[in-house]
Chain A
Amino acid sequence: MSLARECCLLSVPLTSSPSFLIKLESVQRSYTANYPDLTWNHSTFRNTPGARLRGAGGGAVPLGAGRAAEAAAMLRGPALLLSLRLRGAAPAGPGHHRHCHRQQEQQRSSGSGSGPDSGSGSARPQPLEPSLLRFLVCPLSKRPLRYEESTNELINEELGIAYPIIDGIPNMVPEAARRTHTKAPAEGSEQP
């Protein structure tokens, strides 16, 4: 019974059935969690059994038992694997999440060349917003900091410590600061 249900899901075209899309999104999420560098677009599914079945299955209506039996007969090994994966992935939350994730993956694929000013820049070392620099000081000594482009850090020269910038967000807690070797050993000890 459940296998027939899977066949129904597979034979429905990708862009129409919401339940199929929800399961697709959850699979996508688990893949992107495990393989963050992989970009996931719908062309991944171009030559799946689902697409092949689309020619046979046809419309947007979830299939009845008769058609399901016909579709089941056409399933091969990889299609079975796909259906098992779909069943294994947990069902996603409300539609808002689906929209959110689709937006995210679209933005991720299109945002690789985005402008520098948005603060959420392109590659691994994401640049800091220049407007933020005029506010930031060292939390320990309240002295101004110098932005170092090469290591993407904010350096306090007097105390000899450097605060990292991760994902465009400066990490201004003293525990995260790294001591730079040039100055005399700083007493930049944490004051929680």
Chain B
Amino acid sequence: MAALRLWRWRCRALLSRPAGALRARRGLAAGPEMHFGFQTVTEEERREKIYQVFENVAKKYDVMNDSMTLGIHRVWKDILVHKMNPCPGTLLLDVAGGTGDIAFRFINYVRSVRQRQLQRKLRHHQNLSWQEIFESYQNDKFNNSLGDSQVVVCDINREMLKVGKQKAQHLGYSEGLSWVLGNAEELPFDDDKFDVYTIAFGIRNVTRIDLALQEAYRVLKPGGRFLCLEFSHVSNPLVSRLYDLYSFQVIPVLGEVIAGDWRSYQYLVESIRQFPPQEELKAMIEDAGFFKVDYENLNFGIVAIHSGFKL
């Protein structure tokens, strides 16, 4: 345990010494040297390795999420969607949303809001004039259970999308849901298209975070919202120690037992440590052009939700 700590400290010292490596650590436009967990690799290698990581874990992704976070990840994702508070008619782009967790929660939320809207309308109908009732029947949106909301799930990994699609079929989500295979740094969408852009536990795996943020800015409509849910820096020392202990001792073991792949989960916990802390990510989001950038720590900073608006 102590040896691991020492090794980790040495890795950090090594990486923070040269300025180029420091910039690479932040994921900015640096030389080809990038970090993959605690290793240093080139950009191409990093992309490939990350693709392989998610290809290996795709089938057990949800099971592993539940066991690693003891089911708390569901609460985090629910909080994200509640923070988004979408109304029917919202267009959501969920990037790196492979297995579709955020997309399904969005659809449920919008459906329930729509139900309440329709109920209120029905009650309100008692006092309307005949003309207004006639007009409401003309209105197409009256029978739409989602109110024209749509979610596009974009991911770079085919296996994750396959798993997500199967889950959607199994759970019965069919309308308002689309799947696209695309790179977050080069989104195949036109400018000013989406109302909300979310990236949940995905921006850590993007090789060029600044490019991804710029693409996010591009595809959002003016007034659109950027939401990012990601593991972040814990400042409380006691919680930090417990969290480190849990991450480095328990999670790779769980990975080996459940998914049969401890390396992927070792990469996971290392990449969490390498990811920039809340303030740095906030600065990067502001650089991309977003306004009113804010973050909310959940669970002492284990997870943080960053939010920004395109104005």
- Asked if chains A and B come from one complex, the reply is yes
Closest chain-A Cβ to B33's Cβ sits at a distance in Å of: 15
Chain B residues, CB < 8 A from A137: 188-190
Contact status B178-A139, CB under 8 Å = no
Instruction: Please judge, given known A-B contacts A119-B178, A132-B180, A172-B180, whether A192 and B162 are in contact too, CB under 8 Å.
Output: no
Contact status A140-B186, CB under 8 Å = yes
Cβ-based interface call for A173 (8 A): yes
Instruction: Please judge, given known A-B contacts A170-B181, A192-B43, whether A135 and B190 are in contact too, CB under 8 Å.
Output: yes
Instruction: Please judge, given known A-B contacts A135-B189, A137-B190, A174-B186, whether A120 and B181 are in contact too, CB under 8 Å.
Output: no
Contact status B165-A167, CB under 8 Å = yes
A167 in complex: contacting residue of B162, B183, B190, CB < 8 Å: B162
Contact status B188-A139, CB under 8 Å = yes
Chain A residues, CB < 8 A from B185: 192
Contact status A139-B47, CB under 8 Å = no
Closest chain-A Cβ to B215's Cβ sits at a distance in Å of: 9
Binds A, one of B102-110, B150-158, B274-282: B150-158
Contact status A173-B182, CB under 8 Å = yes
Instruction: Please judge, given known A-B contacts A118-B174, A167-B165, A192-B47, whether A139 and B183 are in contact too, CB under 8 Å.
Output: yes
Closest chain-A Cβ to B156's Cβ sits at a distance in Å of: 7
Residue interface mask B30-58, A partner, CB < 8 A = 1 = 00000000000001100100000000000
Cβ-based interface call for A103 (8 A): yes
Of all chain B residues, the one with the shortest Cβ separation from A137 is B190
Closest chain-A Cβ to B260's Cβ sits at a distance in Å of: 12
Chain A residues, CB < 8 A from B174: 118-119
A120 in complex: contacting residue of B158, B169, B187, B193, CB < 8 Å: B169
Cβ-based interface call for A191 (8 A): yes
B188 in complex: contacting residue of A136, A191, A192, CB < 8 Å: A136
Residue interface mask A78-110, B partner, CB < 8 A = 1 = 000000000000000100000010011001000
Chain A residues, CB < 8 A from B188: 136-139, 170, 172
Assembled-state Cα–Cα distance A144/B190 (Å): 8
Residue interface mask A161-192, B partner, CB < 8 A = 1 = 00000111111111010000000000000011
Chain B residues, CB < 8 A from A138: 188
Chain A residues, CB < 8 A from B191: 142
Of all chain A residues, the one with the shortest Cβ separation from B189 is A135
Total interface residues in chain B, CB < 8 Å: 31
Main secondary structure of the interface of B (DSSP, over half): mixed
Assembled-state Cα–Cα distance A137/B192 (Å): 13
Residue interface mask B139-169, A partner, CB < 8 A = 1 = 0000000000010100010100110011001
A132 in complex: contacting residue of B43, B152, B158, B207, CB < 8 Å: B152
Assembled-state Cα–Cα distance A137/B193 (Å): 11
Assembled-state Cα–Cα distance A142/B218 (Å): 11
Contact status A173-B156, CB under 8 Å = yes
Chain B residues, CB < 8 A from A139: 182-183, 186-188
Of all chain B residues, the one with the shortest Cβ separation from A108 is B169
A135 in complex: contacting residue of B156, B179, B181, B193, CB < 8 Å: B193
Chain B residues, CB < 8 A from A135: 152, 178, 189-190, 193
Chain B residues, CB < 8 A from A136: 180, 188-189
Cβ-based interface call for A157 (8 A): no
Of all chain B residues, the one with the shortest Cβ separation from A175 is B183
Contact status A104-B180, CB under 8 Å = no
Write the residues of chain B forming the contact surface with A, with a CB cutoff of 8 angstroms: 43-44, 47, 63, 150, 152, 156, 158, 161-162, 165-166, 169-170, 174, 177-183, 185-191, 193, 207
A137-B189, A176-B181 given; 16 more Cβ-contact pairs under 8 Å: A118-B174, A120-B169, A131-B150, A131-B178, A132-B152, A135-B178, A138-B188, A139-B186, A140-B186, A168-B165, A169-B180, A169-B181, A171-B158, A172-B181, A173-B182, A174-B186
Write the residues of chain A forming the contact surface with B, with a CB cutoff of 8 angstroms: 93, 100, 103-104, 107, 118-120, 129, 131-132, 135-140, 142, 144, 166-174, 176, 191-192
7 tightest A-B contacts by CB? A172-B188, A139-B188, A172-B182, A139-B186, A132-B178, A171-B181, A169-B179
